[in-house]
């Protein structure tokens, strides 16, 4: 039994307005251009089905369900301020639609201006690319994903909503050189390190915003005596995304033998992950306590030449740890 999309137009518009009001009430969408995008781009067209966890297993809610009650649950869920699991393979989550309020925060942090060219890493459902295309126009938006099934469905969803940015099937860690240069790069998947291939595809002054470990790193790209570099701090907020496939996995710091108050603290676990392979967990604990349990925004990352490193407070200071593998 097919479901006519027109029947969802009015309730979807009301749900969309309610979602926007909730995000605004929490301090988000202060930029009128982004508020308009969230008010007008129909998220439900990008999630014709998604999965919820019930009884320890994934259960599908979908637009074509013959049960009107479950169809109503699907529509309400599409406009909740939470992430939606959109692709599950062998019990493992491989793609999702991010929490709208976090998406709004990331888009505003990009500092986009009219005329900017944007590369998105991780096409997902296509919803984030639609928000970008609403703000900038189709020609200035490129979204990349390694999975052809994901890019094909994203392209279909985008077309249904009236948007036609460039949707490319490829390795996001390599960027998209044929569409470069870019003024902004945004990733919607977790990285273990910043891909070196991104920097040559950026214009000087470009901004990169990406989930790194469980934080969001904001980098400014510049040319200097050391060549092309990118440097910046983490935002204070936490961020949990599906990992970039093919981009390596973030290390996990060991917590065995550590006091429970530290092992269960999200900020300390962030430091453990950031310094995994460089600091013994007990050394990390001593540093954390000595530095008064630093928030994420005291940490940063520098990418320069063939190397990159994380640091506390100062990129040239005493607390610095290598990330990833050298370029090449």
Q: Active-site residue numbers?
A: 95
Q: Residue 206 in contact with residue 274, Cβ under 8 Å? A: no
Q: Is 152 helix (H, G, I), strand (E, B) or coil?
A: helix
* Six token digits for residue 186: 């945004």
* DSSP class of 242: P
Closest C-alpha to 182, from 168, 162, 163 = 168
Residue 197 class from Cβ within 10 Å (0-12 exposed, 13-18 middle, 19+ buried)?
Answer: middle
* Six token digits for residue 71: 């169809």
d(CA 295, CA 217): 13
Alpha helix locations (H) across 200-246? none
Q: Is 39 helix (H, G, I), strand (E, B) or coil?
A: helix
Neighbouring C-beta atoms of residue 211, cutoff 10 Å? 26
* Six token digits for residue 232: 């910046």
Alpha helix locations (H) across the chain? 9-25, 32-40, 68-78, 100-109, 127-136, 148-161, 260-263, 266-275, 281-290
| Residue carrying structure tokens 């320890």 | 56
* Six token digits for residue 112: 């986009």
Closest C-alpha to 149, from 87, 74, 59 = 87
d(CA 73, CA 188): 26
Closest C-alpha to 75, from 95, 100, 48, 38 = 48
């Amino acid at each position: 039994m097919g479901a006519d999309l027109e029947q969802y137009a009015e309730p979807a518009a009301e749900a969309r307005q309610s979602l926007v009001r909730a995000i605004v009430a929490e301090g988000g969408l202060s930029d009128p251009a982004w508020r308009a995008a969230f008010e007008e781009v129909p998220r439900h067209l990008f999630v014709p089905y998604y999965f919820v966890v019930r009884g320890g297993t994934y259960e599908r809610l979908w637009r074509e369900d013959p049960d009107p009650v479950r169809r109503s649950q699907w529509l309400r869920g599409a406009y909740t301020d939470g992430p939606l699991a959109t692709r599950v393979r062998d019990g493992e989550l491989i793609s999702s639609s991010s929490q709208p309020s976090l998406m709004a925060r990331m888009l505003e942090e990009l500092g986009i201006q009219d005329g900017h060219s944007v590369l998105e890493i991780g096409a997902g459902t296509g919803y984030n690319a639609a928000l970008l295309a609403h703000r900038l126009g189709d020609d200035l938006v490129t979204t990349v994903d390694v999975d052809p099934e994901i890019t094909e469905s994203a392209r279909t969803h985008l077309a249904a909503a009236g948007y036609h940015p460039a949707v490319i099937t490829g390795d996001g860690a390599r960027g998209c050189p044929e569409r470069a240069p870019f003024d902004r790069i945004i990733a919607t998947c977790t990285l273990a390190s910043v891909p070196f291939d991104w920097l040559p595809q950026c214009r000087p002054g470009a901004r990169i915003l990406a989930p790194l470990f469980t934080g969001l790193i904001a980098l400014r790209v510049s040319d200097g005596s050391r060549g092309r570099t990118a440097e910046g701090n983490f935002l204070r907020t936490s961020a949990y995304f599906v990992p970039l496939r093919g981009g390596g996995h973030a290390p996990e710091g060991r917590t065995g033998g550590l006091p429970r108050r530290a092992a269960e603290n999200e900020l300390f676990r962030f430091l453990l992950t950031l310094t995994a392979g460089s600091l013994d967990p007990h050394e990390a604990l001593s540093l954390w306590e000595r530095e008064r349990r630093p928030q994420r925004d005291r940490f940063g990352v520098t990418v320069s030449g063939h190397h990159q490193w994380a640091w506390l407070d100062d990129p040239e200071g005493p607390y610095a740890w290598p990330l990833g593998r050298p370029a090449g």
